[in-house]
């Protein structure tokens, strides 16, 4: 650290999907870029399919003894409760490493649709929700969706359907990944039900791209790093290339805790602390924060300055407000091999091959109470996660009782050899509202003595209604397939790996934190490019939109700022 250069054209906090395009584009344009990454740098050779490492230990995320969050929620009696994630084990950290959580994503990539950018105009107000139109349109973002397809790498097949979003290219740059025979069963069920179900695009290479190899079909995608670099993480698709320019410095183990202003509503320094406890600062012309939504809001609230006594860019009190996740739920059904001939059964049990089917057919639905058109969502169909431990533990139950010994062993053996579980995942809009936000905990601090983020995690009741409609339709698909033990669950419990909002962008400084280029209204040289900028999230996963928007903002910084 003694030789640490302090002055850069751009200082970027974080290195995931929101940071990668900025790092890549600014470095290519010849600008000096410092990346302050809190986690370590894991290389491709470090990623193995080890369940203990990936999902049972805090290897890719901070240890909850040292760094945690405080969760706030209402219990069944309507009383506000509070507990730390150390107490609950419910981990809201995602991918603490170079490349962030993009290393660990499943790579289900869906574009938002034009209606998602004008949710208020299309569907009207929803009582108790802060629904707004975006300050940009789908057409503004479309060239950058296409750029992500090419540079990050998206495999798939464009099939026209009821809610197909406009495209500037006719197809994806990489062909679809290999599929299990069960995909054809879903296609047949779609014809029976009359519901359009189409191939799912994935940010996983089906063919080699430069130094990156194609997918080798391990079936260990979500929660795991990729050992072939086929997955389109920010680390392999963008940062590796940016490093080759010689314009990028990556400082790992750098926990940014304060953004210092210079008295004129500009950031002068980013202060960070390393694991030994030593503190350093970096100076830059432009500061870009992409630390994931919760921690980005926390950093802003921690950064109190004379110009910003309530936290940087927070004089209107909106930093941390309008936090969103991805609403919806899950369902499953059992494929019993006894219902098939042995050849088909062997095809069903082939390991590693994808399902890759998505239903957009109910992106708009009819409100069963009012009969008016409301926003619906999407459904992804996929095999259950490959991790064997939870599969085995699920077999311990028979009804509401536990089973033991030989009976449990026999049930486990049958499940692993004669059954496969097919899942569906429902994505609907998590509505921004007053009871979902980030603030600073008044009583809990992390290992550095800094207040941790306190997260109010309540969901809006409207999203439960929409989720249940889609669950009913999805179960009909499973019934048409002849699956057994079909079940679904819709919940307002937030999926902690899909977080956005807290720094929403907009044209009016009175009701937004960032402008349409994701620059803070109150801070001339501060940009936020993770999912924090999103005022609403659409009915798809966020990653592709975060990537695309980051490319858009990088273009603006290159052309208009640096």
pLDDT, tens digit (0-9, with 9 covering 90-100), for 18-74: 999 999 999 999 999 999 999 999 999 999 999 999 998 889 999 999 999 999 999
What is the token pair recorded at 77?
A: 């009696």
Average pLDDT of the segment spanning 227-256: 98
Nearest to 459 by CA among 489, 429, 492: 492
Average pLDDT of the segment spanning 234-241: 98
- Please list the residues that pair with 355 across neighbouring strands: none
pLDDT, residue 396, reads: 95
Residue 166: CB atoms within 10 A of its CB come to: 10
pLDDT, residue 240, reads: 98
Homologous superfamily in CATH for domain 7-273+293-561: FAD/NAD(P)-binding domain (3.50.50.60)
- How many CA atoms lie within 13 Å of 257's alpha carbon, on the beta-carbon side? 19
**Is 252 within 8 Å of 41 (Cβ atoms)?**
yes
Task: Specify the range with the lowest mean pLDDT, choosing from 86-95, 378-387, 520-529.
Answer: 86-95
CA distance 456 to 440: 11
pLDDT at 190 over 80: yes
Report helix, strand or coil for 327: strand
pLDDT tens per residue, range 459-482: 999 999 999 999 999 999 999 999
Instruction: Kindly report the backbone phi and psi dihedral angles of residue 335, in degrees, each rounded to the nearest multiple of 5, phi listed first.
Output: -95, 115
pLDDT at 1 over 60: no
pLDDT, residue 408, reads: 96
Q: Where are the domains of the chain?
A: 7-273+293-561
Instruction: Kindly report the backbone phi and psi dihedral angles of residue 48, in degrees, each rounded to the nearest multiple of 5, phi listed first.
Output: -125, 160
- Of all residues in the chain, the percent with pLDDT exceeding 90 is 97
pLDDT, residue 76, reads: 87
**Is 543 within 8 Å of 513 (Cβ atoms)?**
no
CA distance 506 to 321: 14
pLDDT, residue 56, reads: 86
CA distance 562 to 66: 38
**Is 430 within 8 Å of 324 (Cβ atoms)?**
yes
Query: In terms of DSSP bridges, do strands 377-383 and 357-359 run parallel, antiparallel, or are they unpaired?
Result: antiparallel
Torsional class of 526: left (φ above 0), alpha (ψ -120 to 50), beta (otherwise): beta
What is the token pair recorded at 295?
A: 């921690």
pLDDT, residue 58, reads: 86
pLDDT, residue 3, reads: 53
pLDDT, residue 219, reads: 93
Report helix, strand or coil for 242: helix
pLDDT at 145 over 80: yes
Residue with token string 């901070």: 62
**Is 311 within 8 Å of 303 (Cβ atoms)?**
yes
CA distance 552 to 537: 17
Which residues are CB-contacts of 355 (< 8 A; sequence separation ≥ 6)? Answer: 179, 180, 182, 183, 186, 200, 381, 382, 383, 422
Report helix, strand or coil for 282: strand
What does the chain come to in residues? Answer: 562
- Dihedral angle at the C-alpha atoms of 173, 426, 138, 537, nearest 10 degrees? -120
- How many CA atoms lie within 13 Å of 294's alpha carbon, on the beta-carbon side? 24
- How many CA atoms lie within 13 Å of 58's alpha carbon, on the beta-carbon side? 16
pLDDT tens per residue, range 279-299: 999 999 999 999 999 999 999
Mean pLDDT of the chain: 96
CA distance 355 to 353: 7
C-alpha distances out from residue 325 to 98, 260, 263, Å: 23, 29, 35
Strand intervals (E) in 203-254: 248-251
Nearest to 422 by CA among 380, 387, 392: 380
User: Which CB contacts under 8 angstroms, 24+ apart, belong to 487-490?
Assistant: 487/331, 487/332, 487/333, 488/329, 488/330, 488/331, 488/332, 488/424, 489/329, 489/330, 489/331, 490/328, 490/329, 490/426, 490/464
pLDDT at 2 over 80: no
CA 20 vs. chain centroid, Å, equals: 14
CA distance 97 to 248: 17
Give burial (CB, 10 Å; 0-12/13-18/19+) of 80.
exposed
CA distance 193 to 379: 15
Task: List the alpha helices (DSSP H) in 213-260.
Answer: 234, 240-243
pLDDT, residue 274, reads: 96
pLDDT band at 384 (very low <50, low <70, confident <90, very high): very high
pLDDT at 314 over 60: yes
pLDDT, residue 137, reads: 98
**Is 451 within 8 Å of 299 (Cβ atoms)?**
no
pLDDT band at 4 (very low <50, low <70, confident <90, very high): low
pLDDT, residue 74, reads: 92
CA distance 405 to 509: 64
Nearest to 478 by CA among 357, 368, 397: 357
pLDDT, residue 101, reads: 97
**Is 24 within 8 Å of 2 (Cβ atoms)?**
no
Residue 315: CB atoms within 10 A of its CB come to: 17
Helix, strand and coil percent figures for the chain, each rounded to 5: 30, 25, 45
Report helix, strand or coil for 453: strand
- Please list the residues that pair with 261 across neighbouring strands: 267
pLDDT band at 6 (very low <50, low <70, confident <90, very high): confident
C-alpha distances out from residue 346 to 190, 336, 343, 383, 421, Å: 23, 12, 5, 16, 15
């Amino acid at each position: 650290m003694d030789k640490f250069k302090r002055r850069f054209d751009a200082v970027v906090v974080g290195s995931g999907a929101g940071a990668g395009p900025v790092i890549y584009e600014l470095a290519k344009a010849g600008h000096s870029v410092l990346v302050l990454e809190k986690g370590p740098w894991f290389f491709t050779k470090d990623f193995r399919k080890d369940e203990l490492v990936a999902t049972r230990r805090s290897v890719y995320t901070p240890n909850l003894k040292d760094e945690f969050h405080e969760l706030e929620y209402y219990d069944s009696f309507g009383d506000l409760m509070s507990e730390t994630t150390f107490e609950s084990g419910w981990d809201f950290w995602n991918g603490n490493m170079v490349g962030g959580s993009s290393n660990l994503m499943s790579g289900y990539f869906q574009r938002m649709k034009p209606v998602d950018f004008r949710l208020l105009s299309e569907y009207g107000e929803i009582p108790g929700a802060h629904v707004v139109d975006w300050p940009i349109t789908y057409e503004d973002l479309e060239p950058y969706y296409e750029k992500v397809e090419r540079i990050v790498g998206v495999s798939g097949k464009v099939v026209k359907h009821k809610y197909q979003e406009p495209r500037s290219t006719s197809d994806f740059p990489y062909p679809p990944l290999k599929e299990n025979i069960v995909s054809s069963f879903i296609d047949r069920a779609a014809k029976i039900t009359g519901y359009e179900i189409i191939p799912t695009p994935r940010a996983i290479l089906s063919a080699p791209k430069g130094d990156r190899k194609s997918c080798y079909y391990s079936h260990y995608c979500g929660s795991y790093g990729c050992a072939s670099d086929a997955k389109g993480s920010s680390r392999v698709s963008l940062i590796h290339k940016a490093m080759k320019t010689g314009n990028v410095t990556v400082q790992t183990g750098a926990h940014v805790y304060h953004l210092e202003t210079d008295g004129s509503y500009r950031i002068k320094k980013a202060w960070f602390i390393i694991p030994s406890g030593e503190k350093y600062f970096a100076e830059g012309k432009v500061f870009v924060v992409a630390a994931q939504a919760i921690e980005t809001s926390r950093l802003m609230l921690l950064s109190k300055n004379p110009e910003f006594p309530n936290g940087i860019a927070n004089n209107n009190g909106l930093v941390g407000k309008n936090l969103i996740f991805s609403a919806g739920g899950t369902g499953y059904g059992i494929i019993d091999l006894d219902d098939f001939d042995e050849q088909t059964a062997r095809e069903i049990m082939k390991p590693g091959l994808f399902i890759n089917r998505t239903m957009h057919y109910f992106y708009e639905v009819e409100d069963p109470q009012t009969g008016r058109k409301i926003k619906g969502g999407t459904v992804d169909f996929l095999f259950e996660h490959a991790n064997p431990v939870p599969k085995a533990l699920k077999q311990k139950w028979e009804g509401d009782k536990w089973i033991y010994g030989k009976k449990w062993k026999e049930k486990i053996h049958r499940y692993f050899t004669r059954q496969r579980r097919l899942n569906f995942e429902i994505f609907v809009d998590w509505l921004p509202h007053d009871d979902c936000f980030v603030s600073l905990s008044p009583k809990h601090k992390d290992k550095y003595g800094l207040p941790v983020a306190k997260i109010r995690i309540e969901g809006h009741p409207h999203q439960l209604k929409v989720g249940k409609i889609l669950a009913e339709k999805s179960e009909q698909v499973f019934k048409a397939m002849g699956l057994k033990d079909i079940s679904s669950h819709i919940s307002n419990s937030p999926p902690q790996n899909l977080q956005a909002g807290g720094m929403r962008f907009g044209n009016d400084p009175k009701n937004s934190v960032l402008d349409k280029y994701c620059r803070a209204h109150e801070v001339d040289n501060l940009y936020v490019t993770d999912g924090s900028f999103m005022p609403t999230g659409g009915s798809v996963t966020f990653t592709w939109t975060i990537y695309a928007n980051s490319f858009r903002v990088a273009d603006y910084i290159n052309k208009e700022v640096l």
